[in-house]
Amino acid sequence: MNLSLPEGSQWLLALDLLLVLPTVGHILLHKRDPRSAWGWIAVCALFPLFGPLLYWLFGVNRIRQRARQLLGAEAAGHAQHQAQTQLFGDLPAAASQELRELVRLGGALTGRALTGGNRITPLRDGDEAYPAMLRSIAEARQTLHLASYIYLGDACGEEFARALAAAQARGVRLRVLLDGAADAFYRPRASRLLARHGVTAARFLPPRWFPPLLHLNLRNHRKLLIADGEIAYTGGMNIAGYHRGVGGQPAKVTDLHFRVEGPLVAQLEEVFLADWQFATGETVPAAPAPAPVVEGQALARTVTDGPNEELDRLLMLLLGALANAHQRVWIMTPYFLPTGTLIGALQSAALRGVDVCVLLPENSDQPWMNWATRNVLWQLLDRQVRVLERPGPFAHSKLLLVDDYYLQFGSANLDQRSLRLNFELVVESYDRRLAAWAAAHFEEVQAVSRPVSRAALDARPLPQRLRDALCWLMSPYL
Per-residue pLDDT at 475 exceeds 80: no
State the CATH class of domain 119-299. alpha beta
Per-residue pLDDT at 77 exceeds 60: no
pLDDT digits (tens, 9 = 90+) for 108-122: 999 899 999 999 999
Per-residue pLDDT at 154 exceeds 60: yes
The Cα–Cα gap between 447 and 137 comes to 37
Do 313-477 and 119-299 fall under one CATH topology? yes
Domain ranges within the chain, ordered by starting residue: 15-60, 119-299, 313-477
Q: Please give the torsion angle defined by the CA atoms of residues 238, 243, 244 and 249, in that order, rounded to the nearest 10 degrees.
A: 170
The Cα–Cα gap between 171 and 163 comes to 13
Specify the pLDDT at position 84: 44
User: What's the pLDDT band for 286 if we cut at 50, 70, 90?
Assistant: confident
User: What's the pLDDT band for 289 if we cut at 50, 70, 90?
Assistant: confident
Specify the pLDDT at position 87: 54
Specify the pLDDT at position 309: 67
Among the ranges given (6-10, 154-158, 417-421), the one the predictor scored with the smallest mean pLDDT:
6-10
Q: Helix, strand, coil: what percent of the chain each, to 5?
A: 45, 20, 35
User: What's the pLDDT band for 4 if we cut at 50, 70, 90?
Assistant: low
419 vs 98, more confident? 419
Per-residue pLDDT at 81 exceeds 50: no
Specify the pLDDT at position 78: 40
Per-residue pLDDT at 204 exceeds 80: yes
User: Are 86 and 113 in contact, with CB atoms under 8 Å apart?
Assistant: yes
86 vs 22, more confident? 22
pLDDT digits (tens, 9 = 90+) for 157-197: 999 999 999 999 999 999 999 999 899 888 889 999 999 99
Quote the CATH superfamily of domain 313-477.
Endonuclease Chain A (3.30.870.10)
pLDDT digits (tens, 9 = 90+) for 385-430: 999 999 989 999 999 999 999 999 999 999 888 887 789 999 999 9
pTM: 0.87
Those residues whose C-beta lies under 8 Å from the C-beta of residue 134, and which sit 6 or more positions away, are 159, 160, 163
Specify the pLDDT at position 6: 56
pLDDT digits (tens, 9 = 90+) for 313-332: 899 999 999 999 999 999 99
User: What's the pLDDT band for 74 if we cut at 50, 70, 90?
Assistant: very low
Q: How many CB atoms lie within 10 A of CB 216?
A: 15
CA distances from 335 to 73, 221, 360 (A): 34, 14, 7
Those residues whose C-beta lies under 8 Å from the C-beta of residue 81, and which sit 6 or more positions away, are none
User: What's the pLDDT band for 59 if we cut at 50, 70, 90?
Assistant: confident
